[in-house]
Structure 1
Amino acid sequence: MLVREAMTSPVVTIPPSATVRQAIRILHEHCVTALPVVDEPGRLAGIVSEMDLLQGVFEHDPRAFVRPVATTASPSPRLVEEVMTREVETVRPNTDVAVLAETMMKTRIKSVPVLDGSTIVGIVSRRDLIAILARGDARIRDDVLAAIAEYGAVGARWDVSVRDGAVELRGRADESAQRIADVLARTVPGVTRVSIHG
């Protein structure tokens, strides 16, 4: 599966000049965990996450402590550009989702903007990947059968079974038809593995 099939689009973005409070409200209203930060010409300037926005926004409640707690002398950040991450991991629409998932696990990044050239066309979050994996086996089976029927080799008949996202194809087909069926099954959202038995 490719990133373009998993990404959320259109993307909710925010300018660097927005306030931290505005960014917090946008995150909350759109139920997202990160916002790409876009400068005036529309280029990606950074990304701001829930964690970035929580920096210094709460003061200690004196009721929670026996002794008074010292407050920080420095003011809390006011603008998105003060808290955003400037070095942003990005992907292209035709990137393999498996490669993206590995990158997200290694780097512990929760959301990755999708760029087509310099244009932001989507964003992929961990939640998007979980939603794909949460698809039911019956739906995956139907989608695999539909893909094979639409694009598959003429004359090849397949028995398709799916268990926990793992697809098993059984049928009599030549090597070329097997390759086509394998590729088509792997493009279906929610498929984790494909095996073919003649």
Structure 2
Amino acid sequence: MLIREVMTAPVVTLPRDATVRQAIRVLHEHDITAAPVVDRDGRLAGIVSEMDLLRGAFEADPRAFARPVAAPGGPPPRRVEEVMTARVRTARPNSDAAALADMMIRTGIKSVPVLDGTVLVGVVSRRDLIAVLARGDARVRDDVVAALAGHGAPGDGPWAVTVSDGVVELSGPADEAARRLAGVLARTVPGVTRVVVRGPAGQGSV
């Protein structure tokens, strides 16, 4: 799968000078956990998450403490640009979604803006990746069959396609080139986690 096939677009963005309260309302209203921050020209300037916005948003309630609580040293941040992350990991729309998922797992990053050149075209969140994996096996199988037929996968006979928990098994022509092409096509289908390609009667695999 390519990133453009799993990303959310169009993107909900926030201007640098939005207030923290405005940003909180935007994330809440759109049911998202983070949003890219853009400058006046619409170029990516950073990303702000729920955690960023929550820092300093609440003051302690004195009723919860036996002794009076000291007043905070200064006012909480008021603008998005004060709390956002400026150094942002980004992705390209035609890059591999699996590699992006691995990076997000390793780093703990929850949302990644997608840039086509300097243009912000989408965002990929953990929720987007989960939504792809949640697609039912029957739907994934239909899409794999359509991909094979639509691209004219060569061979001397029809492909048998089975899907179990996102793992696709293809059985078909003995021609190695045909099997490799079928495997590539199957891997482009959203929701596919692994592909096994076998020749007639299960002989060999790629």
The bucket for the TM-score relative to the shorter chain is over 0.9
1:29-48 paired onto structure 2 within 5 Å: 29-48=29-48
Q: Deviations over 1:9-52 (max 9, x none)?
A: 00011110110011000001111111111101111111111010
Distance, in Å, in 1 between the alignment partners of 2:101 and 2:67 is 46
How far apart are 1:154 and its partner, in Å? 5.5
Is structure 2 residue 173 aligned with structure 1 residue 181? no
- Is the Cα–Cα contact under 8 Å of residues 179 and 198 in structure 2 kept in the other structure? no
- Is the Cα–Cα contact under 8 Å of residues 157 and 173 in structure 1 kept in the other structure? no
How far apart are 1:180 and its partner, in Å? 1.1
Q: How many residues align?
A: 198
- C-alpha RMSD of matched pairs (Å): 1.0
Distance, in Å, in 1 between the alignment partners of 2:59 and 2:173 is 68
Q: Deviations over 1:109-149 (max 9, x none)?
A: 10000000000000000000000000111111111011001
Q: Which residue of 2 aligns with 1:3?
A: 3
How far apart are 1:101 and its partner, in Å? 0.6
1:3-152 paired onto structure 2 within 5 Å: 3-151=3-151, 152=153
Distance, in Å, in 2 between the alignment partners of 1:63 and 1:173 is 75
| Residue type of the alignment partner of 1:143 | D
How far apart are 1:155 and its partner, in Å? 4.0
Q: Secondary structure at the match of 2:14?
A: coil
- Is the Cα–Cα contact under 8 Å of residues 34 and 47 in structure 2 kept in the other structure? yes
Q: Which residue of 1 aligns with 2:203?
A: none
- List, as ranges, runs of 4+ consecutive aligned residues in structure 1 with deviation greater than 3 Å: none
Q: Which residue of 2 aligns with 1:190?
A: 191
Distance, in Å, in 1 between the alignment partners of 2:69 and 2:132 is 46
- Is the Cα–Cα contact under 8 Å of residues 156 and 173 in structure 1 kept in the other structure? no
> Any gaps of 5 or more consecutive residues in structure 2?
200-206
How far apart are 1:71 and its partner, in Å? 2.8
Distance, in Å, in 2 between the alignment partners of 1:148 and 1:62 is 66
Q: TM-score, normalization: structure 2?
A: 0.93
Q: Which residue of 1 aligns with 2:173?
A: 172
Distance, in Å, in 2 between the alignment partners of 1:169 and 1:187 is 14
**Percent of matched pairs sharing the same residue:** 68
Q: Secondary structure at the match of 2:114?
A: strand
> Any gaps of 5 or more consecutive residues in structure 1?
none
* Residues 59-68 or 77-86, more deviating: 59-68
